[in-house]
Amino acid sequence: MGNDMSQIAYCGLNCAECPAYLATLSGYEHSREKIAQEWSEIYNTDINPDDINCLGCKSREGIHFSHCYECSIRLCAVERSIATCADCVEYPCIDLKEMHELIPIAKQNLEKLRSNLKS
């Protein structure tokens, strides 16, 4: 994990390290094709290269990865108007706990933000 916490999504993922975000910024079609193939295999689903477009979870305008529109964590954080789930009084909720079991680095990012809030 880098030291820059400015691109931390609501759930703790670092958008600045996300392949979909990086591919969108680069504009390289072959990057989107590669990521779509990898994610299709990892998640046992069919992801098209056109789906690999995102300007970051917290971006209100513009394009997002298709899952972002239905992500319960993102929807909740937007509704509560919080910067990240680290700021939530109900931290960690069940949705966040389940997500963090799959992606522990996201939990580490939020824990770091929470420790900064207490200082």
- Range(s) of the domain holding residue 108: 54-118
Residue 73 lies in a domain: yes
Residue 16 lies in a domain: no
Q: What is the pLDDT of residue 2?
A: 46
Residue 2 lies in a domain: no
What SS3 state is found at 3? coil
Residue 12 lies in a domain: no
Residue 69 lies in a domain: yes
**What's the pLDDT tens digit per position in 7-58?**
899 999 998 998 989 998 898 889 999 999 998 998 888 999 988 888 888 8
How far apart are the C-alpha atoms of 14 and 40, rounded to whole Å? 21
Residue 1 lies in a domain: no
Task: Provide the domain count of the chain.
Answer: 1
Strand partners, 8: 14
Q: Across the chain, which distance is largest between two alpha carbons, in Å?
A: 44
Answer whether 103's CB lies under 8 Å from 36's CB: no
How far apart are the C-alpha atoms of 81 and 70, rounded to whole Å? 17
